[in-house]
Amino acid sequence: MRLIFANRNYSSWSLRAWLVPKHFGIPFQEELVLLSGEGWRENIRRLSPSGRVPVLIDGDLVIPETLAIIEYLAESFPEKAIWPRSKADRALARSVASEMHGGFAALREAAPMNLRATHPGKVDIDVVADDLRRIEALWSDLLDRSGGPYLFGEFSAADAMYAPVATRIRTYELPASDAAQEYVEAVYALPAFQEWYVEAVREPWIVEDDEIDIMRARAAAR
């Protein structure tokens, strides 16, 4: 089984898909593709039918979508409890994972994932306020229900889906309650996340479309 993913520093969807097999001890081969450089889009299209990453390849099966990758792993390794063991918790976990998958567009656009950067004050809070309020409410409800440190007690696919949000809160020093900050710390303390993070900060590549200073300069020049 092979997982193709993009720059660790920037690719939030790659992080989500990678955390699950890494945390749960599922063997897989890694293949990194770059989001910059000559012909990078064509290179990804050769590997992914959707032209996007991550992509999981298992034999002749090619799965180019993060939630589908997670579901395939959960079905292939049911003993791993990638989703919570309780039926009710599984339903809630899939619900909040789907909300992450299809929502929070303002936060994604205004605050791209950038693990090696520190950019306090560079995100317009008014633009992302609604997304932050919803995330606060979602995290608070689930952490109160489970007792933490993760959304359903033990780390699950739901936490993998929200891990890039935790990085945005830290990178841009976005406003967050004490409970939300504790959850961010729990995500960063996860050994699998730490492994990804260490490699991310070592990467030399720059993706201009995900660098907020470059984004702001372009916007100002319009």
Where do the domains of the chain lie?
Answer: 2-80, 87-196
**b/e per residue, 119-155, with b = 16+ CB within 10 A?**
beebbeeeebeebbeebeebbeebbeebebbbbbbeb
Q: Do domains 2-80 and 87-196 have the same CATH topology?
A: no
Which pLDDT value is given to residue 43? Answer: 79
Q: What is the pTM of this model?
A: 0.95
Name the token pair of 166. Answer: 């935790």
Do the beta carbons of residue 187 and residue 181 sit within 8 Å?
Answer: no
Q: Is the pLDDT of residue 38 over 80?
A: no
Q: Is the pLDDT of residue 36 over 80?
A: no
In tens, the pLDDT along 137-155 reads: 999 999 999 999 999 999 9
Which pLDDT value is given to residue 37? Answer: 74
Nearest residue to 159 via CA among 43, 70, 76: 70
Q: Which CATH class is domain 87-196?
A: mainly alpha
Residues 35, 15: Cα–Cα separation, whole Å:
14
Name the token pair of 48. Answer: 């992914």
Q: Which CATH class is domain 2-80?
A: alpha beta
The phi-psi region of residue 80 (left if phi > 0; otherwise alpha if psi is between -120 and 50; otherwise beta) is alpha
pLDDT category of residue 89 using cuts at 50, 70 and 90: very high
Which pLDDT value is given to residue 40? Answer: 74
Q: Is the pLDDT of residue 222 over 90?
A: no
